[in-house]
Chain A
Amino acid sequence: MSKHHVSATINGEAVEYLCETQQTLLDVLRDELGLTGSKEGCGSGDCGACSVMLNGRLVCSCLVLGVEAAGAEVATIEGVAQGNSLHPLQQQFLEDAALQCGICTPGFIVAAKALLERNSNPTETEIRYWLAGNLCRCTGYDKIIRAVMGAATNMRQEARHG
């Protein structure tokens, strides 16, 4: 048997899949599980379009083997919205026109969410460095950075009033 049988939790659901050693977690998500929201822009960890959370850490899923996710908790862009209710970051990306073509957007949202979960009030510089591994060729980053700052503000207010 040349394939590994892997059990993992993806977006809160127990999932099983078969994969070969050289298949990356990104390959598994996209080709075996149909979760195509994570994108492959480079396959070498240089663009961040495949960003996912692996056991609570932000990683490039193109730099993780599918077999390494055995027993792991994986969170992808598909799990960011609760049903049809968008995450404040997703909402702010829409309000601020923080996407043009949209190919990098899932990676940016996953990465920015990871930032706001550990720092609810990041500075512009902190956001820029945290997101330096996410390439965007359309926007010049301006509106993305503003959307992250805006979402952070909204989430802090929500937390105060909620």
Chain B
Amino acid sequence: MEAIKYVRPNSVDDAVRSLASANEPVRVLAGGTDLLVQLRAGNVRPGLVVDIKGIAELKQIQVTAAGCRIGAAVAGAELSERADVVAQWPGVVEAFQLIGSTQIQGRASLGGNLCNASPAADSVPALIAAGARCTIAGPAGRREAAVEDIVISPGKTSLAQGEFIVDFLLPARPAHSGDAYLRFIPRTEMDIAVVGAGVSLTLDANGRCTAARLALGAVAPRPLLVPAGATALVGTPVDNAALEKLAAAASAACTPIDDKRGTIEFRTRVAGVLARRAAVIALQRAKGN
């Protein structure tokens, strides 16, 4: 068997070159918390591993007037330590923090969580709810895409050969905005989401919802943006009636499967429950800032 090659470029261009020039199966390594498990289980056997953690741009966190830019290889523990990000996007940060244990948090990245392309990835519904966009580098240069357009189906992304994610932009939000992410797992930690729900919303001065996004995880072949969720909330004071509509919209959007982690019935039912509960938290947060 051929040895697996390993490179650690320190610029985006070098990484693109490495990926483009490889004539063997290649894997991008960020935190490695999914890739190493797949390597160990023999599910993947790349000829080349490209470690992107040596690229400074991919490890940066910048908060500007435009919003927050988070490098694709930033680890969960690193983001959690940024009080400014936690204050503005608590839903995104808490979703990222839910990925695995403290030990996993020391490694796992947003880019990896997205590109592993699991329908159950915790950070992805929160990013979609936050309206996050990502920068993608590849042989044809850089391009931008909405996070909800990346995952196509379990294990598959829309990234072209040789492309990888450089960073994420959480666009700045008006005052009175808040977000939240909740997931359901059988234990309190260490499980993959059975259902995940992210909600981001903005209120006007009178407490009426002017914008909202609902995203769900683990209830379809890919993380879902649920436009009907926004419809349920916008124009309302996010009262019980609106929340019930939101819950119904969430359940209606589900096309889940029965698997070792949950049933169709359970996922559909709990998606509504979590959407409502996440919206209540997001509402509180929006009122508080």
Is A20 touching B4 in the complex (CB atoms < 8 A)?
yes
CB-CB under 8 A for A59 and B106, given A20-B3, A44-B37: yes
Given contacts A20-B4, A58-B102, A129-B189, contact A63 B77 (CB under 8 A): no
A-B contact count (CB 8 A): 91
Q: Out of B3, B51, B104, name the residue touching A45 (CB < 8 Å).
A: B104
Could you tell me if A68 and B102 are in contact, using CB atoms closer than 8 angstroms? no
Q: Is residue B6 contacting chain A, with contact meaning CB distance below 8 A?
A: yes
Smallest beta-carbon distance A51→chain B, Å? 6
Interface size on B, residues (CB 8 A): 29
Tell me which residues from 23 to 60 in chain A have a Cβ below 8 Å from any Cβ of chain B.
24, 43-46, 48, 51, 54, 57-60
Q: How far is the CB of B96 from chain A (nearest CB, A)?
A: 15
* Min CB gap B51→A, angstroms: 6
Please give the distance in Å from B93's CB to the nearest CB on chain A.
15
Q: Encode contact with B along A119-162: 1 for CB under 8 Å, 0 otherwise.
A: 00000000001111110000000000000000000000000000
Kindly provide the distance from the CB of B209 to the nearest chain A CB, expressed in whole angstroms. 32
Task: Find chain A residues with CB under 8 A from B85 CB.
Answer: none
B190 contacts which of A4, A64, A133 (Cβ < 8 Å)? A133
Helix, strand, loop or mixed for chain B's interface? Answer: mixed
Chain B CB within 10 Å, residue with most, of A2, A48, A59, A62:
A59
Question: What is the CA–CA distance of A57 and B105 in the complex, to the nearest angstrom?
Answer: 9
Nearest opposing residue in chain B for A107, CB measure: B103
Q: Is the CB of A48 within 8 A of B101?
A: yes
| Contact residues in A for B3 (Cβ distance below 8 Å) | 2, 20-21
**A58-B103 contact given A21-B3, A65-B6, CB 8 Å threshold:** yes
Taking a contact as CB atoms under 8 Å apart, the answer to whether A133 and B4 are in contact is: no
Q: Using an 8 Å CB-CB cutoff, how does the interface string of B109-141 with A read, 1 for contact, 0 for none?
A: 000000000000000000000000000000000
Chain B residues with CB under 8 A of A21: 3-6, 49
* Known contacts A21-B49, A132-B190; A60/B104 CB under 8 A: yes
Label chain A's interface by main secondary structure: mixed
Q: Does B36 contact A (CB under 8 A)?
A: yes
Q: Which of A56-106 contact B (CB under 8 A)?
A: 57-60, 62-65, 67-68, 70
Q: Which residues on A sit within 8 Å (CB–CB) of B103?
A: 45, 48, 51, 58-60, 63, 111, 133
| Bound Cα distance A134, B3 (Å) | 33
Point out residues on A near B: beta carbons under 8 Å: 2, 4, 20-22, 24, 43-46, 48, 51, 54, 57-60, 62-65, 67-68, 70, 111, 114-115, 129-134
20 contacts between A and B (CB under 8 A): A2-B3, A4-B6, A22-B39, A45-B33, A45-B37, A57-B106, A58-B103, A62-B40, A63-B31, A63-B103, A63-B104, A64-B107, A68-B29, A68-B32, A68-B53, A111-B103, A114-B102, A115-B102, A131-B102, A132-B189
20 further A-B pairs in the complex, CB-CB below 8 A; given A65-B51, A67-B6: A2-B3, A21-B4, A21-B49, A22-B39, A44-B41, A45-B101, A46-B190, A57-B107, A59-B107, A62-B36, A63-B104, A65-B6, A65-B49, A115-B102, A131-B102, A132-B101, A132-B190, A133-B189, A133-B190, A134-B101
